[in-house]
Amino acid sequence: MDCKYFGECGACRLYESGYEGQLNEKVALNKERFAPFFQGEIAVFKSPDAHYRSRSEFKIWHEGDALFYAMNHREHKGVVLIEACPQVNEYIAALMPKLLAAVKKADIGFKLFGADFLSSSSGEIVVSLLYHRKIDAEWEEKAKIIAEDLGIYIIGRARKQKVVIGQDYITESLNIQNTMYRFDYIENSFTQPNPRVNEQMISWAMDAFGKRDGDLLELYCGAGNFTIPFASLFAKVLATEISKSSIHAAKRNMALNNVENIEFVRMSVEEFVQALDGQRVFKRMSHIDMKQYNLEAIFVDPPRSGMDEYSCKFAARYETIVYISCNPETLYRDLETLLETHEIVSMALFDQFPYTHHVEMGVKLCKKSL
């Protein structure tokens, strides 16, 4: 990736040996980290080496009447003023200078402090403009003109305000094992930032399960990123998530893909275990007959904090566990518990965040033979 801000901008870490060098460093680090648990080959899934991010956030910096994009400086508390970013996809990259010029021309840059971009792989874009002032009717009229001229959607955000010009989501298409899946990504909600690596990650997880006769339980399902492709492998899928907005998005995405064999339930892991074991009755599960499920596999994709010991002990009930982790450190901790009952069959590393120390890891575990 060719970037003149390398070494200054805090968004990336400088690797003198380029993309392959940074990837080799990550692979070596995680092979060593997980060597006590797994001595086999870790499958490695690469990212494009530039224009790989479909969402990104920038500060807006004011110098007199001029406006600039800015990122935190790597070495000190200041910022780096930037004109372009080779991380973002080609559509965001092309839009960035045009948007800033349009904001300046329309005179809606007053107290603007941030711009967040969300793009599909086909170029549908939502831009959120963040303000330290109230958004008024004049702003809305000017933003409508900019949105029409640039062919984008705009959201104005200020304290207790969200003003939507057009719509607040884009529709992404992912090619998973030669099948196209469509997902509505809603502004300000979590989405995987690297669509090409996301496709590889979902595909690897599907291969890890293979076609099954039984049913799947998924914890931390989010908006259905994995759940919906998994539905093609299992008779039924039961998926839980604690976020109400994520559950709404998941149901919306299920309908978008004409999938009918998933039940999404808004529950924490602890609540679900209590319901499953008959300790508590939840109205949210009153329509679900657990006797109709043959749950023999479980999928987990927890937040950076990982699973807790309670959740690990619960997951250990199932014959097959597939675990996607965005934090190798908490994955290591959780494996110490899971390996009391299971053994690792395969591992994978997904370079979701090039030029940073972050990676996503995948692990398939099966119950130990007695």
Between the two ends of the chain, the Cα-to-Cα distance in Å is: 50
Phi (first) and psi of residue 151, to 5 degrees: 70, 40
* pLDDT single digits (tens) 87-131: 999 999 999 999 999 999 999 999 999 999 999 999 999 999 999
pLDDT band at 15 (very low <50, low <70, confident <90, very high): low
pLDDT of residue 250 exceeding 70: yes
Secondary structure (3-state) at 109 = coil
Average per-residue pLDDT for the chain: 93
In the chain, % of residues over pLDDT 70: 99
pLDDT band at 16 (very low <50, low <70, confident <90, very high): low
Quote the pLDDT of residue 66.
93
pLDDT of residue 299 exceeding 60: yes
Amino acid at residue number 370 = L
> What is the 3 state secondary structure string of 43-77?
EEECCCCCCCECEEEEEEEEECCEEEEEEEECCCC
pLDDT band at 291 (very low <50, low <70, confident <90, very high): confident
Highest mean pLDDT, choosing among 17-21, 61-65, 76-80: 61-65
- d(CA 309, CA 93) in angstroms, rounded, equals 43
Alpha-carbon torsion angle 256, 143, 246, 158, nearest 10: -170
pLDDT of residue 290 exceeding 90: no
Q: What's the average model confidence in pLDDT over 322-349?
A: 97
E strand or H helix that includes residue 324: strand 320-325
- d(CA 31, CA 39) in angstroms, rounded, equals 8
Considering the candidates 326, 329, 336, 343, report the single residue annotated as catalytic.
326
pLDDT band at 78 (very low <50, low <70, confident <90, very high): confident
pLDDT of residue 36 exceeding 70: yes
Quote the pLDDT of residue 173.
97
Comparing CA positions, the residue from 193, 242, 208, 202 lying closest to residue 222 is: 242
Quote the pLDDT of residue 94.
98
DSSP-assigned letter for residue 290: G
Q: Is 326 a catalytic residue?
A: yes
pLDDT band at 14 (very low <50, low <70, confident <90, very high): low
Comparing CA positions, the residue from 153, 118, 116, 158 lying closest to residue 136 is: 158
Highest mean pLDDT, choosing among 7-21, 133-147, 269-283: 133-147
- d(CA 89, CA 118) in angstroms, rounded, equals 10
Considering the candidates 8, 199, 271, 360, report the single residue annotated as catalytic.
360
Q: Is 12 a catalytic residue?
A: no
7 vs 56, more confident: 56
pLDDT band at 213 (very low <50, low <70, confident <90, very high): confident
* pLDDT single digits (tens) 157-173: 999 999 999 999 999 99
Task: Please say whether the dihedral angle defined by the alpha carbons of residues 78, 82, 85 and 91, taken in this order, is positive or negative.
Answer: positive
Q: Which distant-in-sequence residues (6+ apart) come within 8 Å of 323 by Cβ?
A: 299, 300, 301, 331, 334, 338, 362, 363, 364, 365
Q: What's the average model confidence in pLDDT over 19-34?
A: 94
Quote the pLDDT of residue 366.
97
- d(CA 347, CA 208) in angstroms, rounded, equals 10
